[in-house]
Chains A and B, each alone.
Chain A
Amino acid sequence: MKHLLSATDLTHDEAVRVLDVAEEMAATQSREIKKLPTLRGKTVVNLFFEDSTRTRISFETAAKRLSADVINFSPRGSSVSKGESLKDTVLTLGAMHTDAIVVRHPASGASARIAHSTWTGASVINAGDGTHQHPTQSLLDAMTIRRHLKAPGGPGADSPGKGGGAARVGQEVSGQDLSGLNVMIVGDVLHSRVARSGVDLFSTLGAQVTLVAPATLLPVGVETWSSRFFYDLDQALTEVPPDALMMLRVQRERMSGAGGGFFPSPQEYSREYGLDARRLAGLPPHAIVMHPGPMNRGLEITSEAADSARSVVVEQVANGVAVRMAVLYLTLTGAKE
């Protein structure tokens, strides 16, 4: 695996392999000395054209735990705003003998453009491109779902559980996919790279994905996707009770703009699509609640739901480091399955 640009780059077996390696990485993170020598001498650049402290520090932590040298570069403004062009920025990094470029960019396809160009020979890892893809997010989500729902004794597990720590869970879920699970994604699918990569990866891994959003926040063409979709959250929860329920962040700017916004008011959105105590209580007993962060408490999710025992939001962050260690390892060492 030279690049990771889209969740669709991964076959079923490759995706399971990434998750298994991520579990191995996670196991090392409970040791007293967390740092591994694997990528010593390699240089990883975090090239972030969009602010995202969370994703950047996750990649930075992952690279440092693998002993890579890490450079953070956040150009002020892309070529869209008449700064230095993407090409010149990447050429500059190439001159510094970069081994991997982790790219976050507001333009869909920016990371693919870099990977397929002659501008650099480095590995390119997509850390979010416009409204297209965010593959490491969907991998960390899949890892979280698998841990909770495919561990022995879990609802989707093949064998009864034995109990034990993180390392043991990691071994026990190794090799498994997400088959038989219902994953529901609720919110702004139209603008969400998290939703697109999630639909692709979870489907590849055998899960049934259900999308729920007002029609204004579903893309034209969604009917051709591998997922089902509903406009009514309560109907969806009744008809396809989710094993994992992912609430997407609602961007404030979606409430204004062309045509007066994508929905009438935060209050109406919250009533129609928010995860509140009533909907939380109606979930299947084993269901987990996820959110890619940062959360808008009181809008798409109430504090009650966000802080409930079902919420795995903090765990998602921890798994993010393990998944990104796995992706850096697999792309930079050219490891084959």
Chain B
Amino acid sequence: MNYLIKGAVLPSGQRADIQIVDGIFQAVGRVSSSGAAQVVDADGLVALPGLVDIHTHLREPGHEDAETVRSGSRAAAAGGYTCVHAMANTYPVADTAGVVEQVWRLGRDAGYVDVRPVGAVSVGLEGHHLAELAAMARSAARVSVFSDDGECVWDPVLMRRALEYVKGIDGVVAQHAQEPRLTEGAQMHEGVVSSQVGLAGWPAVAEESIIARDVLLAEHVGSRLHICHVSTAGSVEIIRWAKARGIGVTAEVTPHHLLLTDELARTYDPVYKVNPPLRSPEDVQAVRDGLADGTLDVVGTDHAPHPPEAKDCEWAAAAFGMTGLETALPIVHELMVETGLMSWRDVAAAMSHRPAEIGRVATQGRPVAAGEVANLTLFDPAARWTVVPGDLETGSGNTPVSGRETHGRTVATFYAGRPTVLEGEVI
């Protein structure tokens, strides 16, 4: 099926018709109706390159009670994504060619997005021995992002080795920056609120000290480092300094760290329990500024589904994590675009071009231009809808923005020319 999208607004602000033929953008500009194509009226819609998430937990294999590759892929499509990077903390852990190929095949079978498996840095995420990174890179899954996410690669020697080793396979190490000793038993951001509510603190320095160490290691060995879910003002400063120094570091911020603060822990509702934790208002401002000025390269969702019982309990017993694929773009629109901090061009960079570059995904994150693979998101910035957990595509209900009115909605998503979402419905 071929499509003619009429009257969309490109990230540049230019109005254009977009013709999709055989999975490719045939023409972008003024296109007169051609008989064989289905016409999509995109008047007033923003046409973004298909979104790419650098940080997703699809949970399969092993935790299908929370999410499957299929349900997570549908959630991704609903949120405007055409590619997600599936983190390695599955069961079994994605630390071998066999597991990453399994995840990749499940993604291909589901057919909603490119599922790019992330390989574990260390065997079993245990932080002791390098996993077979080259085997994963050379597998059918062609892994290029490696991360122990959920765990920090805390051993400086292992981190050094990983950074060195991935140079040979054009890989990147994505670090979950959390000094383990400073965060034993940690439940929430350490600060004014934690002192009052009596939950064990997760200090900002536990994130910042690892980032400081790792940017220096990356400089020393001349490798690529990516920092997952940056959450503190100090981290933003360190990364800004490292980039000014020419160090090959990229960084990500989540929608929830852009939006929410540690004040929510006062409710003791574990839906607000996440790792790294929600931080202070000053930190939230700093990560917004960091995203706006490019210090933080990308928005990554850290979409982390959990079954109900993992959240329907006391705070200390609850799992860390919140879902985000279906609400990321509206949140970025509300916080960054409506406020004038970012243009749509900046959004396209942070949510598509840059994450695809970091993950080395050749067919994703490309401009909406003739000759490119037709990965496209049509977003209606004027739409308003209220988040109801049960209405989302994800297999889990742990969204932190339940009941919130969102600013904008994905109307259509095209994945390699095939519509995965039309008129706001996943198909």
Contacts and interface: CB of A to CB of B under 8 A. Distances in A.
Contacts of A225: 195-196
Interface in A101-119: 105-110, 112-113, 116
Contact of B194 (A78, A79, A116, A221): A221
B195 A222 contact: yes
B395 interface: no
B314 A107 contact: yes
B271 to A, nearest CB: 12
B268 A130 contact: no
Given A220-B190, A221-B191, A131 B313 contact: no
Most buried by B among A112, A193, A222: A112
Contact of A129 (B187, B196, B198, B200): B198
A116 B181 CA distance: 33
A284 to B, nearest CB: 30
Interface residues of A, number: 30
B203 interface: yes
Contacts of B315: 107-109, 113
Interface string B94-138: 000000000000000000000000000000000000000000000
A131 to B, nearest CB: 4
A132 B197 contact: yes
Nearest to B192: A221
Interface in A218-239: 219-222, 224-225
Given A78-B314, A79-B314, A105-B314, A196 B192 contact: no
A171 B196 CA distance: 34
Interface string B281-320: 0000000000000000000000000000100111111000
Contacts of B194: 219-221
A108 B316 CA distance: 7
A78 B187 CA distance: 17
**Residue among B181, B190, B197, B267 with the highest chain A CB neighbour number at 10 A:** B197
Contacts of A72: none
A80 B316 contact: yes
A224 B317 contact: no
B193 interface: yes
Contact of B198 (A85, A86, A87, A130): A130
Nearest to A193: B198
A258 B181 contact: yes
A108 B191 contact: no
B268 A219 contact: no
B199 A108 contact: yes
B184 interface: yes
Given A131-B199, A132-B198, A258-B184, 11 more contacts: A78-B314, A85-B309, A85-B313, A107-B314, A107-B316, A113-B268, A113-B269, A113-B313, A116-B267, A196-B198, A220-B194
The 6 closest A-B pairs by CB, nearest first: A109-B268, A221-B195, A132-B198, A219-B195, A107-B316, A131-B198
16 contacts: A79-B313, A85-B317, A87-B312, A107-B314, A108-B199, A108-B316, A109-B199, A110-B314, A113-B269, A113-B315, A116-B269, A133-B198, A220-B190, A220-B191, A258-B181, A258-B184
